[in-house]
Amino acid sequence: MAFELPKLKYAYDALEPNIDARTMEIHHSKHHGGYTSKLNSAIVGTDLEGKTIENILSNLDMDNKAVRNNGGGFYNHSLFWEVMNPEGRGRLSGELKEAIEAAFGSFDAFKDEFSKAAATQFGSGWAWLCVHKGGKVEVCSTPNQDNPLMPDVSCGGTPILGLDVWEHAYYLNYQNRRPDYIEAFFNVINWNEVEKRFANAK
């Protein structure tokens, strides 16, 4: 079955003033929609058809640019929408909080590390919080639509929190002020969802 553009669980304007409605509409319907249709075109009639996106990316031929770029774009954005919410739902707690404090020393230190990864990613890309088997977490960044599931990227594990730092994710509202956008992202993180992903992945 072909991949489908996931529906958002909140309205396009629900994340304002942190992320504006026009950016959300264009980002979801046009950019994510484009990755979805191009991914389907890239895998139709191949042995990748019918596989999960996680299976496709984990066993990816990195020279297959169409699947690398559009499969990554599909997966990354699907996660991105899920780890945000308009209500500040949940606070970091439990085993994930313990894992973050063990890895970084404190939540503030983690926030600094994650923000640095996002701010210093040259050009387009993503910042990630990933979890390895056993529960160890790390922060990293990847270029373009690459992600930690793919072979031969700069970090591994399962991504449980991701921030899109392509200009299309923030330029209408923030222009070149990427650090302001990164700071605003922390106002809309759905920690309940991130903790659920941590529990499933570790």
Annotated binding residues, as ranges?
27, 77, 164, 168
Asked if residue 14 lies in contact with residue 181, where contact means CB atoms within 8 angstroms, the answer is no
Query: From the annotation, which residues make up the binding site for Mn(2+)?
Result: 27, 77, 164, 168
| Three-class HEC string of the chain | CCCCCCCCCCCCCCCCCCCCHHHHHHHHHHHHHHHHHHHHHHHCCCCCCCCCHHHHHHCCCCCCHHHHHHHHHHHHHHHHHHCECCCCCCCCCHHHHHHHHHHHCCHHHHHHHHHHHHHHCCCCEEEEEEECCCCCEEEEEEECCCCCCCCCCCCCCEEEEEEECCHHHCHHHHCCCHHHHHHHHCCCECHHHHHHHHHHHC
Question: Letter for the amino acid at 161?
Answer: L
Asked if residue 85 lies in contact with residue 103, where contact means CB atoms within 8 angstroms, the answer is no
